[in-house]
Every structure is written in structure tokens, then in C-alpha cells.
Chain A
Amino acid sequence: MSLLELNGIEKRFGSVEALRGVTLSVEAGSVVGLVGDNGAGKSTLMKTITGIYQPDGGAIRFDGQEVTADTPGHIRSIGIEMIYQDLALAPQQDVASNIFLGREPTKTLFGFIPGLIDRPKIVAEAERMLQRLGARVPSVLSPVGVLSGGQQQSVAIARALTFGPKLVIMDEPTAALAVREVDHVLDLIRELKRQGIAVILISHRLTDVFAVSDRIVALRQGQIIADEVTAETSMNQVVSHIVGS
């Protein structure tokens, strides 16, 4: 049994058929590269998994559990994290708050007033997480909006990794990064794999995908065109899948 199983996923936006019956599985601890042209449906497919979109057809199973059309909160709680293409950060809130967004640990004030966010804990753990990632962020108290693109990316990654996920979906995580930072993300993906955490990597940079993935899946016009073992395919072949020649 695979960690994640997608069966015949369909999604329409009005008259646009973004996904037309996508069937795909991801093994625990494996890295799957998801490639495809702009508008192929990659982001839509991932957002259907994380509960942002409700599929119009098909079923999703994770860890043996039926999770089709679950809420984003529940999907996160069972161990799927996603780093969104637009990062999904709250710019006026600080780094620490963003890392713990939606999952703030709480404590009791004076022993009887409940629901107080445990700020010291959030700040300390956010700092620890960023340090572990080797991220260069000026302060966890800075509003995320003042950070550079690479720093914001680090915050989004830290948020995805703080709660021990089983599957991490990365949607174009290296698009806004400098070369040195890209290497860092690739190292991170290898490290996740070593820890048995599965990764779905969406990227336009095929060299990156080839460098870290076990399998490469190509999506075109909402359908899976190819699903190949990375070691057994070539750059040219994948390019031809993407452009459809």
C-alpha cells in the first residue's frame, strides 16, 4: 500500500477542465518530481490533495485513510504539508507566528484564563527550526513582509517541517532563489528522504528534479502523460513529455 493514492481525480473551474482523471501514487519516503507546462494542472492537483479545492470526481487515500475533500486543517493534522507557490504567508505577522500559523500552542493565564498563545515557546521553537534549516532570517520577530524572497521561502519551509509531516509537497520552491539557496533546498529534500519523509517536488528546473527524485511524473492538460523512474529516463524524454511532441 502506498502512502498517498490518487484515483481518477477530476477538477473543473467553470468550463476549464483542470484535472481529467489523475491517478497517481506516492510511496513512503520517496521523492516524486511533478513536471508539466504552465497551466497543466500541477498546482490544482496538489491543492486538491491538501483540501483547498474539492475534487469533482475521484478519491484520495492517505496512510490507508479516505481523505477525499477533507478540510485543510485535517489534512495537515494527518501529516501532509504543502509549501505553496505563493508561499501562503501572512505578511504583517512575524516569522514565529507564521511558522505556527493555525497550530499555535496555548497555555493558561494565571492558572484559570485559557487560550493564551504560548509566545515564548513559539519564538524559541521557531528559532530552533530555522537554525536547524540553516536559514538566514534576521529575527523571528520581523514581520514576514519585510523579508527577501529567499527568507520567506525559508519561513514557508520551516512551517511545513515543524510538525513532523509524512509527506511534503513543494510547489516551485526554488523559483525565487539564488543558486546557493537552491542547492540548500535540494540538500533538504535528500535529508527528508533519508528521514523517511515523502516529497512531491514541482519544478520547472529539470536538473533539480533529476538531482533528487526517484520518479518523474509528467502532467499535460490535466492528465498524466508519463510516470517514469528517474534513473531510467532522460532529460530529452521528459522535455518531450512536457511539450507533447
Chain B
Amino acid sequence: MTTAPDAAPKPRQNRFYFRIESLVVLVVLCIVMTLLSPFFLSTSNILNILLATATIGVLAIGATYVIASAGLDLSLGSVLGLSAVFGAFLVDRLGLPWPFGIVGALFAGFAAGYVNGQLITRLRIPAFIVTLGMLGIARGLALVISSGQAIYGLPSELVYLGQGRPFGIPMPVIIFFLVAVVTHYILAHTKYGKHTLVIGDNEQAARATGIQVERHRRSLYAFSGLMAGIAGLIFMTRVNAGDPTAGLNYELTAITAAIIGGTNLFGGRGSIFGTMIGALIMGVLQNGLNLMAVQSYYQQMAIGAVLIFAVWLDQFNRKVATR
């Protein structure tokens, strides 16, 4: 290779495509928490953090794909709630066999995302509006299906998915890990993932090189909905109920996790490995605030502040980089 006279910045060789800063933040956060609470590093607390991170983490994976393509999905938390209620409704109220709990939860999430994708790409309504509308619709539908009451009492097979602990590891953590590995592979190493990033990076370039942008976009929202369905399944089986308020405001945490994990808010960059770190940061933060007995109202405020701060930092970095 010939070298250009004007030395361009050395390309960063980063096999996992994440921001190294976010890993530093995670480590520092863990150190601070350890100093503040002797209980923080105990095995049971670490499993607690991972358990809390699992639901948010799966949602954040959906957020990462959509945001990396320069889209947005605000309906994640509500769709999680709808999925949990729908799965519980099928087995508890309709008395269908337990596998319908799984299929139902996943289907409800996928269907909501599919509708989002159709409206955004065929009717050309902005994603912000469509998914904000779906946030209301899915939550309302969850309340209608459940008559506003949590649907309690799931078959033990389903409860195992949320409360089982093979080898001492909570099932939700195992599900989260498997989903993360598969989705990381897809985003980082396949044409589907590459095209997702390219669409977010420069839609015109994607179109010009033959990528079917609209079809791809549609599939991304369906994928995001499916992730909300998996998160709904985890939530439902963990609390042993289809709670219509499940996942309230979770989109805030999920999007924050994706952004602090290195996903570019304006598209073109993102990795699931980074998002997992982002989700862990959120998990540790919430856990730490819990340990210090900080009220949940303040936790919401903290998450919101972290989101704004992370985006500001990203833009600040970009300004410096392009100077």
C-alpha cells in the first residue's frame, strides 16, 4: 500500500467494534460501587445485576439495530408489556398448552414491530411518530387484554424460563447471552448487519449499490419487535405473571444502553458487544442506587440524565474528531 503524504488518523483496529470508553466507565462504576457497598461484589448481587440487565439488554439489542440504521423504536417498553400479557393470556385465560406462552409472547412482539415497519416504509410516516403511536397502542392493548389486571399463575415449564437456574445461572441471563451472541454475529459479520449499518450511514449509497433499503428497514422493525417479545417472555416468566404495566419506560433505559454502548444516534455505527456493556452499565447503576436505597424516582432521573450526557459526549467527540 502506498502511504498518503498527509498522515490520516490511524484506523482503529477493534475486533468487537465498541467504544473502549464505555468499558472504562463500567469498570470505574464497579470500583466505586464496591467501595460504597461491601455487598456489591457478592455472587448473589452480581447475579441480581445480570438478571436485571437481561430484560433491558434484550430490548437494547432491538434498539441498537434500529438506531444503527438511523431509525428509532420508542415502542419497545410497551411492546414488551403487550407480549407478556398476550403470552400469559393464551395459557392462563384460554388454557392453551404452555408452549403457546412462548409463541404468543414472541408473536405479539414480532407483530407489533411488523406493523411499525409497514407504516414507516409503506406509508412513509416518520419512525418517531409511528413508534410513539405504537407505544400508546401496545400499552392500551395490553390493558384491554388483561382487563387492567396482571394475569397470574403460569405453568411451571414457563416459570422455569424466568426463575430456573441451571448450573446456578438464572435462565434469563442464559437467554440474554445466547440472543446477544447470535445478534452480535449477525450485526458484525453478515451482509444483513453490514447493510443495516450502511443504510444508517448513507441511505443513498445503500440504494445506489443495490441494497433494498425499504425491505431491509421493514425487517429491522420486525426484528426489534421480536426482541421486545423475547424481553416480554423473560419478564413474564420471571415474575410469573402477564403484567400490563410491564416494561413501563424501559425504552428509555434500552435506548440509553445502546447509545452509551457506542451506537451512533444518527446511524451507521453500533455493535451488540458495546450494547451489552451499555446494558451492564445501566444494570450496575440501578443496582448501586438500589443498594444505596435511592428512591426509584431519582433512578429515573439518573437514567434520563445519563442518556442526555452520553449523546452530548458523543457529539462533542465528533466535533473534536472533525476539527
A76-88 CB mask vs B (1 if < 8 Å, else 0) is 1100001010111
In whole angstroms, what is the CA distance A77 to B9 when docked? 35
Stretch at the interface among B33-41, B199-207, B285-293: B199-207
Chain A interface bracket (under 10, 10 to 19, 20 to 34, 35 or more):
35 or more
Residues B268 and A93 in contact, CB atoms below 8 Å apart: yes
A172 to chain B, nearest CB (A): 15
Residues B207 and A116 in contact, CB atoms below 8 Å apart: no
Residues A88 and B194 in contact, CB atoms below 8 Å apart: no
Assuming the contacts A73-B212, A115-B192, A147-B8, asked whether A127 and B1 have C-beta atoms less than 8 A apart, the reply is yes
Q: Is B95 an interface residue (CB 8 A)?
A: no
Q: Is B43 an interface residue (CB 8 A)?
A: no
Assuming the contacts A117-B190, A131-B1, asked whether A141 and B9 have C-beta atoms less than 8 A apart, the reply is no
Main secondary structure of the interface of B (DSSP, over half): loop
In whole angstroms, what is the CA distance A124 to B206 when docked? 23
Residues B212 and A71 in contact, CB atoms below 8 Å apart: yes
Residues B4 and A151 in contact, CB atoms below 8 Å apart: yes
Q: Is A38 an interface residue (CB 8 A)?
A: no
A87-117 CB mask vs B (1 if < 8 Å, else 0) is 1111111100100011110100100010111
In whole angstroms, what is the CA distance A142 to B4 when docked? 12
A178 to chain B, nearest CB (A): 12
A117 to chain B, nearest CB (A): 6
B188 to chain A, nearest CB (A): 9
B228 to chain A, nearest CB (A): 24
Assuming the contacts A73-B211, A88-B208, asked whether A146 and B202 have C-beta atoms less than 8 A apart, the reply is no
B165-208 CB mask vs A (1 if < 8 Å, else 0) is 00000000000000000000100011110110110011011111
Return chain A residues, CB-CB under 8 Å to B10: 139
Q: Is A50 an interface residue (CB 8 A)?
A: yes
Please, how many residues of chain B have a CB less than 8 angstroms from a CB on the other chain? 35
Residues A138 and B4 in contact, CB atoms below 8 Å apart: yes
Q: Give the residue name and chain of the B residue nearest to A73 (CB).
A: B210
Q: Is B256 an interface residue (CB 8 A)?
A: no
In whole angstroms, what is the CA distance A119 to B17 when docked? 14
Q: Is B3 an interface residue (CB 8 A)?
A: yes
Residues B8 and A88 in contact, CB atoms below 8 Å apart: no
Q: Is A165 an interface residue (CB 8 A)?
A: no
Residues B212 and A86 in contact, CB atoms below 8 Å apart: no
Return chain A residues, CB-CB under 8 Å to B147: none
Return chain B residues, CB-CB under 8 Å to A104: 191, 194
In whole angstroms, what is the CA distance A102 to B8 when docked? 26
Q: Is B238 an interface residue (CB 8 A)?
A: no
Residues B264 and A92 in contact, CB atoms below 8 Å apart: yes
In whole angstroms, what is the CA distance A44 to B205 when docked? 16
Assuming the contacts A88-B205, A101-B205, asked whether A139 and B1 have C-beta atoms less than 8 A apart, the reply is yes
Residues A90 and B11 in contact, CB atoms below 8 Å apart: no
Return chain A residues, CB-CB under 8 Å to B19: none
Q: Is A65 an interface residue (CB 8 A)?
A: no
In whole angstroms, what is the CA distance A88 to B199 when docked? 11
In whole angstroms, what is the CA distance A127 to B3 when docked? 12
- Interface positions, chain B 195-237, Cβ under 8 Å from A, are 195, 197-198, 201-202, 204-212
Q: Is B44 an interface residue (CB 8 A)?
A: no
A31 to chain B, nearest CB (A): 22
Q: Give the residue name and chain of the A residue nearest to B6 (CB).
A: A148
Residues B13 and A91 in contact, CB atoms below 8 Å apart: no
Assuming the contacts A142-B8, A142-B11, A146-B9, asked whether A72 and B209 have C-beta atoms less than 8 A apart, the reply is yes
In whole angstroms, what is the CA distance A116 to B185 when docked? 8
Residues of A within 8 A of B (CB): 50, 52, 71-77, 82, 84, 86-94, 97, 101-104, 106, 109, 113, 115-117, 119, 127, 130-131, 135-143, 146-148, 151, 159
Could you list 29 A-B pairs, sorted by A, with CB under 8 Å? Answer: A72-B209, A72-B210, A73-B209, A73-B210, A73-B212, A89-B202, A91-B202, A92-B264, A92-B268, A93-B198, A94-B11, A101-B211, A102-B206, A102-B211, A104-B194, A106-B191, A115-B189, A117-B189, A117-B194, A131-B1, A135-B2, A136-B5, A137-B1, A137-B2, A137-B4, A138-B3, A138-B8, A139-B11, A159-B209
